[in-house]
Amino acid sequence: MKLMEPILAFQAELQEIRRDLHAHPELCYEEQRTADVVAARLTEWGIPIVRGLGVTGVVGIIKNGSSPRAIGLRADMDALPMQETNAFAHASRHPGKMHACGHDGHTAMLLGAAHHLARHRHFDGTVYLIFQPAEEGGGGARRMMEDGLFTQFPMDAVYGMHNWPGVPEGHFAVVEGPMMASSNEFRVLVRGKGCHAAQPHRGIDPVMIAVQIAQAWQTIVSREKNPLDAAVLSITQIHAGSATNVIPDEAELVGTVRTFSTGVLDLIQRRMEEIATGIAGSFAASVEFNFKRNYPPLVNHAQQTAFAIDAMRAVVGAERVDTAVEPTMGAEDFAFMLEEKPGCYVFLGNGEGAHRASGHGLGPCQLHNTSYDFNDKLLPIGASYWVKLVEMSLPEA
């Protein structure tokens, strides 16, 4: 690896920042303390800041030279509503809140890059440091954009990074094109006619109708879309009834749909409603169909992905960069930014969990797991990548 010496020298302080953030997790749009920490550090290092975009977002601005070129680097700040089972010293001090996805590490890595860039300005242009709230279901990226992120801070490209358990420690992974799926949810209410369970002919059974709808929906994935277009349609909840001898009036189907393209999502949503309405109508029942599109697919742009790959290879070596990683059906609201600006989102390997200190929980070190902890060895690697990306994207004249 070719990590930057000033960043390595700053590693202990970055670890202290990261563990402090881990011990004080804040949920989406509540990241006031986290934003205060970020703002205080950036101000201490002489970096101008703007606060308030996306409620608690922070944007730092580092300019050098005279070039009009600009790029954005984004880190998310929010935690999850989970009870941490780790018992080491930096475990969460707030019951029911936990940094179980590594956003504490993401914030610390971008702060590490900010510290270096403010002191060693080997670039020509402007770097916008985007500290984003509410990635975990709150759509903080979209909220910052609605508050003027790209109009107040015009940038040519935007980049993101996420730690990834299971990928070897310090290795990078990326793929051009679709990298993460869209995230969507549905709630479908089947309205029938309740009756005594011993006299089903006197009612319209919404439970049996819901079962037929659930089965028929799977043919959308298996028979209606192109088999080469990946998609998931998962029914995760079925709610109906309250007694063993009563056929209820209603039954509800709840779940998620994931796709890598908007076209496939359009098809699935349309056919889900048509099938549900058709089946219910054939039994003299009705449906209330609700489909919510949360996050779009995350699609990496070709030129910016090439830049990112070059920067990663310069930091960790080509042998530690996987450019054919399998896309994931997980979702990320950085996708909103990539719909508006060219850019690239990469994974940084968090390892298998051997880095965790004594006192960690019994579960695996996986994202959204109560035993998770960010790997502090990644701090100088991620910070060095950010700096290298800036220097390659905004080269000095």
Are residues 240 and 207 in contact, defined by beta-carbon separation less than 8 angstroms?
Answer: yes
pLDDT at 231: 97
Q: How far apart are alpha carbons 363 and 372 in whole angstroms? A: 8
Same fold flag, 5-180+297-393 and 183-295: no
CATH class assigned to 5-180+297-393: alpha beta
Cα 278 from chain centroid (whole Å): 36
* Number of neighbours of residue 58 by Cβ within 10 angstroms: 28
Residue 357, pLDDT score: 82
CATH entry, 183-295, from 3.30.70.141, 3.30.1490.20, 3.30.70.360, 3.90.1410.10: 3.30.70.360
Q: 241 — alpha (psi -120 to 50), left (phi > 0) or beta?
A: left
From its phi and psi, is residue 233 left (phi > 0), alpha (psi between -120 and 50) or beta? Answer: beta
What are the residue ranges spanned by the domains of the chain?
Answer: 5-180+297-393, 183-295
Evaluate whether 365 touches 99 at the Cβ level (below 8 Å).
Answer: no
* Rounded mean pLDDT, 35-57: 98
Is residue 27 helix, strand or coil? Answer: coil
Can you tell me the distance from the alpha carbon of 226 to that of 288, in angstroms, rounded to the nearest whole number?
Answer: 28
Whether the model pTM is above 0.75: yes
- In 3D space, the residue among 277, 272, 299 whose CA is nearest the CA of residue 288 turns out to be 277
Q: What is the mean pLDDT of the chain?
A: 97
Using pLDDT thresholds of 50, 70 and 90, give the confidence band for residue 1: confident
Please, which contacts does 320-323 make with residues 24 or more away whose CB atoms are closer than 8 Å?
Answer: 320/1, 320/168, 320/170, 320/171, 320/172, 321/171, 321/172, 321/173, 321/174, 322/167, 322/171, 322/172, 322/173, 322/174, 323/173, 323/174, 323/175, 323/176
Q: Is the pLDDT of residue 135 over 90?
A: yes
Q: What is the pLDDT of residues 307-330, one digit of tens each?
A: 999 999 999 999 999 999 999 999
Question: Contact 20/26 with Cβ under 8 angstroms?
Answer: no
Give the model confidence (pLDDT) of 142-185 as tens digits: 999 999 999 999 999 999 999 999 999 999 999 999 999 999 99
Sign for the CA dihedral angle at 6, 10, 14, 17 comes to negative
- How sure is the predictor about 362, in pLDDT bands with cuts at 50, 70 and 90? confident
pLDDT tens per residue, range 236-271: 999 999 999 999 999 999 999 999 999 999 999 999
Q: Looking at the predicted structure, is the pLDDT value of residue 213 above 90?
A: yes
**Residues whose CB is less than 8 angstroms from the CB of residue 21 and which lie 6 or more positions away in sequence, other chains included:** 34, 37, 99, 104, 107, 108
> b/e string for 294-331 if b means 16 or more Cβ within 10 A?
ebbbbbbbeebbebbbbbbbbbbeeebbbbebebebbb
CA distance 98 to 111: 20
Residue type, 312: M
Q: Which two tokens stand for residue 10?
A: 């700053």
